[in-house]
Amino acid sequence: MKKKTIKPITELRNTSEISKQCHESDNPIFITKNGYEDLVVMSSLSYNKLINNKDDVNENNHSTYNIIKVGCACNEIKLACPSKNKEEIILKIKENSSLDILVFPELSVTGYFCSDLFYQDSLINNTNDAIKDIVKATIGINTLIFIGAPISFLDKLYNCALALHNGKVLGVIPKKNLPNYNEFYEGRQFNEYHGENTIIYINDKPCPFGTKLIFSNRFYSNLNVACEICEDLWSPDTPSTSHALAGANIIVNLSASNELFHKDKIREMLVLSTSYRLHCAYLYASVGNGESTQDVVYSSHNIIAENGELLVSSPLFSNQTIISEIDLEKLSASRRKNTSFRCKNQSQYQIIYFDNNNDCLSLTRKINPFPFLPNNENESIEYAKHIINLQVMALSQRLKHIHCKDVVIGLSGGLDSTLALIVCYETFKYLKLNVKNIHCISMPCFGTSSRTKDNAKTLAKILKCTYKVINIKESVMLHLKDINHDNKNTNITYENAQARERTQILFDYANEVNGIVIGTGDLSELALGWCTYNGDHMSNYAVNVSIPKTLVIFLVKAYANSHSDLKEVLYDILDTPISPELLPLLNDKIVQKTQDIIGPYELHDFFLYHFLKYNFSAKKILFYAKEAFKDIYDEQTIKKWLDVFIKRFFNNQFKRSCIPDGPKVTEISLSPRGDLRMPSDAFFDDFKLDID
């Protein structure tokens, strides 16, 4: 490797010589300002090479998926004893050297509650010596490390975070907001810092000092880290807000938050709400064992959150190092879609670059295979009630607006029409309407099984809705004859003729009773185009339009568990194979099983969620799916159905371009008037290319 060329900023006056050296060496020249790296100058040829090789990384590197591994560590404190504290800090740094970011608590080098001992020169000098040893111990370690220490600057003492990387202090961040309750906390010894960024000397070397520093990674284009300290998070005007608006997407917090009854819940709420509001990841490390308990108690509460999601939180009083992964693409997608998030104030910030490209390790965070379902089973009933209530409120508003007191549903005995009926039933109860005005129409044909037909009848009877059977076999056969179609040819024409006949009957019957047709199709079917255009694709109001199939199953099951009179029939519906029932039966058994044809809905719902919410590539979706379903599906199976999903999603946009009204009640909507604006003529080739 060629020797690194470094020149002071004054050399830039000789532009001709600098240009000549850049072109002749084909290497960058590093420009220093006040002894610290400030600029990099290179030829356009070198720059183009750099850009072209940017994506040329090992398949096993984090950058393949833009995932970084982070941690929060608590060192057991020996109060006012930096010589001992440094030893454990160094040990934990070495134990966690594979991490991309590691955060220690506030004043971790000295301990937080040293009080007036902070005035002592001995403590300050010992702190400086400890910092020097810690920095030296980081040589060869690519982790971005944050430690806390008291720093003397211009004869004032500041509570600071020091950003360390590979044997260097990259920057020093002073605390901006100090708690000063009758001088009980550090307001007695420390000063708030509200000045501009400047230069401070640490270990006789200059480095940036200030609250407006962002540490940006050269390897990950969207890894930008900023820091605030303890009270900063609790203040009305948090530094993290300014950091995020200047481009930081990871906020670290070195904290010494004393423990009170239930304060851990408040702390988690603050971290989660901040990460959600700022579309960022938040790493919170707080002091614990060894800290003074003279008047308060500290609990070593560490928290890692990502965009409002709690990834990991340590048990109180455990002094536990917590580790998780941050998906930088998720954060970018969230900010990109939120038009109210507008970056500003970048000019006020100093960007400090560091290198880090650790090899990808196995994920420690759990990837939920069912992103539309609640994580906590204890919340299942309330979660289901809330979703159904949203559907009910939407339908009730539509009925009130058009002064309608009758609805018509094609009740097949399948899951989707069952959920639609439940929503209608709850809506009529809410509006105090007669449930007899819910008209359930069964329209058996070539593939209708006695099981589904009987379940539809039983369900309507228990709910006391109007139930009517209209056999469409003869009318479909007559129609097929009219268009010269052979009834023995069970092709797409054969299937769609049944779906469109049913839709015609539903709309005409709705006219007859002065009602509207309630659509039963769900989000998963719409995403895959698994519906007949102008058949089950059409209705007056589609209550399930943003409910994916996995959630349909969950809602019907939850409703069954809370309604004993419906439990038997609803569980039988849940056990029935999912099918459009458009092909002839075999011994009254369903032969046309949807998931055998288009793939498992649990996979498709997972693909859909990550494709639309985070705009992930197929390659990234595959990575997560393998982790989420590692005990269920092998990689080849996942790839097969992911390929099907991409093709069907693109090829069936024309159906979604003209869907009826329906409420958005989950995070994902395919409405052309709402969340998804997509051309019907888009090619899918490049979207599936990287998984072939």
Distance CA 634, CA 600 (A): 13
Is the CB of residue 559 less than 8 Å from the CB of residue 384?
yes
Contacts of 581 (CB under 8 A, 6+ apart): 412, 414, 445, 447, 448, 449, 452, 590, 592
Torsion sign (Cα): 576, 578, 580, 583: negative
Give the number of other Cβ atoms within 10 Å of residue 592's Cβ: 18
Give the number of other Cβ atoms within 10 Å of residue 557's Cβ: 18
Distance CA 435, CA 251 (A): 54
Is the CB of residue 397 less than 8 Å from the CB of residue 439?
no
Q: Which of these, 455, 416, 372, lies nearest to 578 by C-alpha position?
A: 416
Catalytic residue among 168, 175, 330, 557: 175
- Coil, strand or helix: which one is 489? coil
Distance CA 617, CA 599 (A): 20
Burial class (CB in 10 A: 0-12, 13-18, 19+), 687: middle
* Whether 175 is catalytic: yes
**How would you write 163-185 as a 3-class SS string?**
EEECCEEEEEEECCCCCCCCCCC
Q: Which of these, 322, 624, 408, 668, lies nearest to 522 by C-alpha position?
A: 668
Is the CB of residue 568 less than 8 Å from the CB of residue 474?
no
Catalytic residue among 81, 92, 106, 325: 106
Distance CA 643, CA 622 (A): 10
**How would you write 321-367 as a 3-class SS string?**
CEEEEEEHHHHHHHHHHCCCCCCCCHHHCEEEEECCCCECCCCCCCC
3-state helix, strand, coil in the chain (%, to 5): 40, 20, 40
Distance CA 556, CA 193 (A): 57
Tokens representing 588 are 């009254």
Secondary structure E strands in 515-636: 516-519, 541-542
Catalytic residue among 227, 230, 445, 465: 230
- Coil, strand or helix: which one is 588? coil
Q: Token match 């006012």: residue? A: 80
Active site residues: 106, 175, 230
